[in-house]
Structure 1
Amino acid sequence: MPATPMPTAGSLQVTCGAHTDPGLRRPVNEDALFAEHPVYIVADGMGGHDAGDLASAAIVEVFRPLAGRDDLTPDDVAAAVERAHTAVADIAVNRPRGAGSTLTGVVAVRQDGVRRWLVVNVGDSRVYRLLTDRLEQLTVDHSVAQELVDEGRLARHEMSSFRGRNVITRAIGQERSRADYWLLPIVTGERLLVCSDGLTGELTDEAIRAGLALGGAPGQTAGSLVAQAIGHGGRDNISAIVIDVVAGGISPRQEDTTGGLPFADEASVTVEVSTLRSMRTRRSRG
């Protein structure tokens, strides 16, 4: 998908490009992506043909009505996640292997009148951010491999070759699989990557950083990253969305620590924002 200018209300301007591929070993692409401002999400379906692809597609359909809106709140996104859980659970009924999906991405929302990115994650697809030459993973995997990294029993660079790398601990459609959310400032000049584990399972963080830093248009960059993952084996479906903030964000000079405002999504979709804290500890794991 070529880079697409996304004019938005106010002065915020972003461009976006996306690419998805079934890879070399999977007959069906169970990934689905959606990239229409202010919603940029990737869903990696599970359950095999006629289940995993339907699950990821159902998530996209839940989020599609949010496109084009400038008044979204964190509550709106949390409510969409709950609807996605219901939609995927309905697909899983009477299917021997069940159905599920990861969900990750960013949505531009308004919190207390301020426009921010809301990062959402369930599963092991990821969101990264490149600012100047520094790459940061903004999400934390819900996976057995990540738990082993957190416990000091597995090095981060070993995650992609770990035998149980595809075993996740949360999924859309499964009970007690709550989403993690973070509110982040929108920064002029930043480049975001939303991707499935088919990309991160083949490319190291340094390879991802180098690919994002080359400076190509978002669509070209997304396609190049996917092609590199295929070249390294293409063992899974591969999806990537690249988003550039062209104007309208805060100055990078104001963004010293990339602080996040985490909040918990409880039984209701009411969002309560906790005290500002740094995300550095979370990102330094492994």
Structure 2
Amino acid sequence: MTLKLRSVGASDRGLIRSGNQDALHAGTWLVAVADGMGGMAAGDLASAIAIEAVGPLDVETPEDALVAALQGAIHQATARIRQAVAEDPERQGMGTTLTALLFARTGSCLALAHVGDSRAYLFRGGVLKQVTRDDTFVQMLVDQGVITPDQASSHPRRAVVTQALQGEKVDPTYATMVPRAGDRWLLCSDGLSNVVRPDTLTEVLAEHPDAGECVRRLIDLALRAGGPDNITVAVADVVQE
């Protein structure tokens, strides 16, 4: 029996923003979420560049090549963003988060790449775990014991990211994991994670076996919470074939 990935994703502008600066890819081998920043025109361009750079990885990849493939795509995204800023100096400061999951062709391994404050969660055996660590000022304060995670969720500077893809040197986090049948992955922008509590995320992931319904429900909850930001959600199930 081989493990496969089945993913569904959707994005919503939210109720406050005039446009959507998020981008996503929900494919057979690759799931990725990017949240652009740095002004409307530049933010959506940066996130689009990041997703276009990782998109070609949605093919059968040997497990020993997963991390290198993600590193290469991020290197390419960084170069393209740098080029876009060089072409139009008004784009200075534009950037994007990127959280990407790449599944091996054998189904025996997956790799994660992460930079910024979008998130990847693993729902396994009824328990939700945040796998990525936010590259944010408030996460730094939590790590130092200055504030608690609860205080971080309402901190006035919680949107300040400490690194993103901006055309300069960046230090993404890479990890590999062994998938299990029944695993459910949630990748999202902070338009979801900032307004919907982890216990609610857990409930929805548990109660909606259909990934598409699950995505729609999560976006609906973020909208009901005021939809202050763009909301991008991808749910990927590890299934046995």
With the shorter chain as reference, the TM-score category is: over 0.9
With the length of structure 1 as denominator, give the TM-score of the two structures: 0.79
CA distance in 2, matches of 1:74, 1:137: 20
Alignment equivalent of 1:64, drawn from 46, 55, 60: 55
For residues 96 and 57 of structure 1, the distance between their equivalents in structure 2, rounded to whole angstroms, comes to 14
Paired AA for residue 25 in structure 1: I
Identify the range of structure 1 (156-165 vs 193-202) with the bigger mean alpha-carbon deviation.
156-165
Deviates more, 1:184-193 or 1:65-74: 65-74
**Are 2:122 and 1:162 equivalent residues in the alignment?**
no
Report how many residues are paired: 237
Confirm whether residue 107 of structure 1 aligns to residue 102 of structure 2: yes
1:1-286 paired onto structure 2 within 5 Å: 11-71=2-62, 72-93=65-86, 94-95=89-90, 97-109=92-104, 115-247=108-240
For the aligned residue pairs, the C-alpha RMSD in angstroms reads 1.7
Q: Normalized per residue, which structure has more helix?
A: 2
Paired with 1:124 and 1:79, the residues of 2 have a C-alpha distance of: 21
8 Å CA contact 1:104, 1:121 repeated in 2: yes
Q: Which residue number in structure 2 is paired with residue 260 of structure 1?
A: none
Distance 1:211 1:147 in 2: 29
Q: Could you tell me which amino acid in structure 2 is paired with residue 105 of structure 1?
A: A
Give yes or no for contact 2:5–2:103 (8 Å, CA) kept in 1: no
- Greater RCO, 1 or 2 (C-alpha within 8 Å, sep 6+): 2
Aligned-residue offset at 1:114: 7.6
**Gaps (5+ residues) in structure 1?**
1-9, 249-286
Report if aligned partners of 1:192, 1:244 keep a CA contact under 8 Å in 2.
Answer: yes
Indicate conservation of the 8 Å contact 1:30/1:44, yes or no.
yes
Report the identity percentage.
Answer: 34
Change in CA separation of 1:53 and 1:146 when aligned onto 2, cut-off 3 Å: same
Cα separation, 2, equivalents of 1:247 and 1:151: 41
2:60 touches 2:104 (CA, 8 Å); kept in 1? no
Question: How far apart are 1:174 and its partner, in Å?
Answer: 4.5
